[in-house]
């Protein structure tokens, strides 16, 4: 085994800020929907809008970082070892089977992670942003007589997409506990260093 710097400072900053913002958006979104009472409706709306704009700015920086560093290649889908990864997560992990793929500096993500993160980056987050923007600019759209002035379908799509992101976070947090030790994956995303096979 050897210690390798897998996650740069920006990579870690972007990861944790995105997590904090998405959890904050989920909590305030539930309050806006009337499912929780923590901040009060008006404060929840204000926090939700601020977190949404902050997330959009963060995503813009992340896109720039991915393309200038070449890290976008980490998300190129592959079917190699895909079925083995599915079998590992469904059965092998509970039998202490060896991990089908190995992390390297050039390939940090396994095939299932690549597909999942690609789905989030090109579908789930853009859907959240577009439907959120339709909500945010509702009055302008209604005045313009836009077909998007009907918020019912926007609300349904926004809510479904938000629950898919919440489900991802729950599964993601669980899977962080499946490294070499219970906390090794979390430690790697805090320090940047990960122990991988030489």
Q: Residues in the chain with pLDDT < 50?
A: none
Q: Which two tokens stand for residue 164?
A: 């898919």
Q: What is the structure's pLDDT at 69?
A: 93
Which backbone phi and psi does 2 adopt, to 5 degrees? Answer: -140, 155
Distance in angstroms (rounded) separating the CA atoms of residues 73 and 151: 37
| Range 97-104, long-range pairs (CB < 8 A, 24+ positions) | 102/196, 102/197, 103/6, 103/194, 103/196, 104/196
Distance in angstroms (rounded) separating the CA atoms of residues 182 and 67: 32
Q: What is the structure's pLDDT at 145?
A: 67
The predicted-structure confidence for 150-171, as pLDDT tens digits, reads as follows 778 888 999 999 999 999 999 9
Say if CB 21 and CB 61 are below 8 A apart: no
What are the chain's domains? 2-196 (1.20.950.20)
pTM over 0.75: yes
- The 10 Å Cβ neighbour count of residue 63 is 12
């Amino acid at each position: 085994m050897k210690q390798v710097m897998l996650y740069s400072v920006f990579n870690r900053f972007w990861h944790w800020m995105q997590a904090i913002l998405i959890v904050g958006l989920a909590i305030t979104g539930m309050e806006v929907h009337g499912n929780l009472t923590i901040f009060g409706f008006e404060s929840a709306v204000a926090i939700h809008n601020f977190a949404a704009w902050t997330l959009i700015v963060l995503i813009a920086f992340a896109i720039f970082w991915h393309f200038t560093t070449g890290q976008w290649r980490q998300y190129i889908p592959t079917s190699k070892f895909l079925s083995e990864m599915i079998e590992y997560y469904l059965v092998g992990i509970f039998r202490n089977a060896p991990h089908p793929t190995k992390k390297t500096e050039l390939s940090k993500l396994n095939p299932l992670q690549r597909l999942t993160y690609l789905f989030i980056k090109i579908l789930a987050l853009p859907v959240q942003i577009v439907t959120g923007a339709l909500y945010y600019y509702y009055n302008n759209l209604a005045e313009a007589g836009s077909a998007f002035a009907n918020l019912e379908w926007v609300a349904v799509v926004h809510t479904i997409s938000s629950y898919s992101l919440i489900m991802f976070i729950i599964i993601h947090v669980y899977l962080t506990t499946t490294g070499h030790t219970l906390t090794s994956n979390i430690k790697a995303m805090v320090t940047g260093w990960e122990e991988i096979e030489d």
